[in-house]
Each structure stands twice: as structure tokens, then as C-alpha cells.
Chains A and B, each alone.
Chain A
């Protein structure tokens, strides 16, 4: 009985500690396309860089993405216009999961690792990228935006995912 109680307390403490810990630390191994990392670090960058309605939030676009400012899965998720007075609703778990699936689909169609189109299209041709109607977003593979997406999709960056994503997002803030 005492053993069961101690185990329960142990689990409780572990859960509390896990909840308080940041989603990623510099040397944590990254699980590719982890929805939690997407929500915490990557989605704010995607919101500004990729998922606007005139780009990957557009109807019928390859790699269609949901975002707070762009396309929502249902109209009810945007009950009022986003404005000074009204913030957007956070993405649902389903929308985040669908975004992960969208990236998985692109990887399946184009190849693993850094061959996947999501990493090559926004990259300058001189750095190994390819033509992208949305333009060149990353001059080279050291761009924080590239590292943010590569960390999320491949998981092999040495930098802290949270830091590179925050830096990439800050550069695009209106």
C-alpha cells in the first residue's frame, strides 16, 4: 500500500515537472513533426511566413496550412474579425495535426530529409533550393527560418529550435 502511494506521488511529481519544462531544450532530440513543437515554436513562424490566405492558406494550394490569421478548418473558429479588440482563437489540436499531416504528405511526395520540397522551395537556388512562386525566403541554410523548419521536419539541427523559430518569427512581425 505504501509502495503504491509512493509510486503515485512519484508519477504526480514527474507530471508536474514535465508540464513546467520548456517544450525543447538545446540538446533534446527532436521528434520530426511533433505537434507539440509545432504549436509551441513553429506555428507562429508559419502564421507569418507561409500560411496567409494568399499563400499556403489558399484553397487548393499544395501544402495547405491552417493558421490563426489565415485559413481555419471551420468558419465557427473565426467568430469575429481579428482586430485591435479581438485576438484570433488558438488553433485546435485537429488543425495542428492536419498541418503536420500536410508536411508529411509533401515529404512523402518529394523525398526525406533536406530533399523535401518544404525545405527546398523557400530556399535560394544558390543554396540548393528551387523556384518558389512565393519567392525566396531563406538566402542560405543558416537562415533562422530554414533552421526552424528543418528542426521541426528533420530534427537534425544543433541549435535550439525555440530560439531559431523565435528569431525567424521576430523578423517578420508587422
Chain B
């Protein structure tokens, strides 16, 4: 009876320790970032058109293993600062610190993303086409100089990108103290 009681005590103690340890582990910072995005609002299912305006590399980043493929740089271009529709066919012109020049083209919802050589988007496209993907042969070296061109109109970013790989982490929908608003090429009509 005494040994049974002692065994029961150990069992209870071990269970408490295991449950406590699991509680301490929590979620990784990468998982936390992805969780903060919330559920996909649609209307597109996963693929090059989904989650326009979201910070892509929160899930498609090199520290993340869940959402293949990983992007070197990605974002969404809008027609104007206040237009909710993405700009199809805009060019995003990037020059990195080593002089590598890349021109990406946005897809139907305004998304673009740079893929490292050997990666493909899986469903919905394969790089270098209308799906918004551009395959690059060498990784980007920061800082980056970026401009966006829609037709003949070009906006050159006045600052440099030093480390961020998702446009939307700095260019939120909401203009404010820590955001210049969305990425756009054409000004609002006066």
C-alpha cells in the first residue's frame, strides 16, 4: 500500500512537471509572427495571389519552414496611396549593395516576390511570369535601393532598405508615425 502511494505521488509529480515544461516552451518568434497575421481573408486560396498587402516573409521567410517557398523580397504594389486594388503589371526595380539589378513584375493583385534560384511557387506559377515571381541567381546584399514604376510613372524610395524583406512590415495600409502607407506608383488625383 505504501509503495503504491509512493508510486502515485511520483506519477502525479512527473505529470505536473511535464505539463509545466510544455507550457514554458510556448511558440517560436517565427510562429508568433505568422499567428499575428490572423486567418487568410481571401478571396484567393494559397498561391501567388493570396494575402495581398500582408508581410509575406512572416511566413515565407528564411527562418520559417512551413510555407514553402521562401522569398528574398516580397510585397504588394497599389495603384495609388488610397486605392485598394493592387496594381497589375507594375515594375519593382531593385538594386542591391553589390550592384545586382533586378526588375520584378507584379501580378493581378499587385503581389511580387523574388525567389532564390531553384525554388518555384509550386501551384499557380513557376517564376518569371505573370504570377509575380522573379527568380534571382544570387541572394540580395543589403542595403537595397528600390523604385516602383507603373507605365511612365516612377516613384523612387527616398530611403534605403537595410534588412526588411517584406514591404508591408514598414508600408502598412494605415499611414502613420511608423508607416509611409502602401507602396504605390501613381499619386492620388488632386
Query: A74 near B155 (CB under 8 angstroms)?
Result: no
B184 & A55 in contact (Cβ 8 Å cutoff): no
Grouping DSSP codes into helix (H, G, I), strand (E, B) and loop, the A interface class, with mixed when no group exceeds half, is loop
State in angstroms the CA–CA spacing of A81 and B157 once bound together: 11
Q: Known interface pairs A78-B175, A81-B180, A174-B145. Does A69 touch B159 (Cβ–Cβ under 8 Å)?
A: yes
Does A135 touch B at the CB level, under 8 Å? yes
Pick from A4-12, A82-90, A144-152 the stretch touching chain B: A82-90
Q: Report the count of interface residues on A (CB-CB < 8 A).
A: 29
Of the candidate stretches B21-29, B40-48, B161-169, the one touching chain A is: B161-169
Q: Are B161 and A52 in contact (CB under 8 A)?
A: yes
- Asked whether, in the complex, the Cβ of B187 is within 8 Å of the Cβ of A52, the reply is no
Pairwise interchain contact A81-B162, C-beta atoms closer than 8 A: no
Q: In the complex, what distance in Å separates the CA atom of A70 from the CA atom of B179?
A: 8
Given that A48-B159, A85-B187 are known contacts, is A75 also in contact with B177, CB under 8 Å in the complex? yes
Give the residue name and chain of the B residue nearest to A47 (CB): B159
Task: List residues of chain A with CB under 8 Å of any chain B CB.
Answer: 47-48, 52-55, 57-59, 69-75, 77-78, 80-85, 133-135, 172, 174
- Complex interface bits, B147-190 against A, C-beta within 8 A gives 1, otherwise 0: 00000000111111111100001100001111111101001000
- Tell me which residues across on chain B come within 8 A of A57, comparing CB atoms: 178
Q: Check if A174 sits within 8 Å of B163, measured CB to CB.
A: no
Would you call B170 and A54 a contact (CB within 8 A)?
A: yes
Closest 10 CB pairs of A and B: A54-B164, A75-B176, A69-B159, A81-B181, A53-B170, A72-B177, A174-B145, A75-B177, A81-B81, A55-B162
A66, closest chain B residue (CB): B177
Nearest CB in chain A to that of B81: its residue: A81
In the assembled complex, the Cα of A83 lies from the Cα of B157 at a distance in Å of: 8
User: Given the complex, which residues of B lie within 8 Å of A54, measured CB to CB?
Assistant: 161-164, 169-170
Q: How far is the CA of A135 from the CA of B142 in the complex (A)?
A: 9
Q: Bound complex: CA of A74 vs CA of B177, how far in Å?
A: 5
Chain B residue nearest in CB terms to A73:
B177
State the Cβ distance, A94 to closest chain B Cβ, in Å. 13
The answer for the CA separation of A69 and B63 in the assembled complex, in Å, is 28
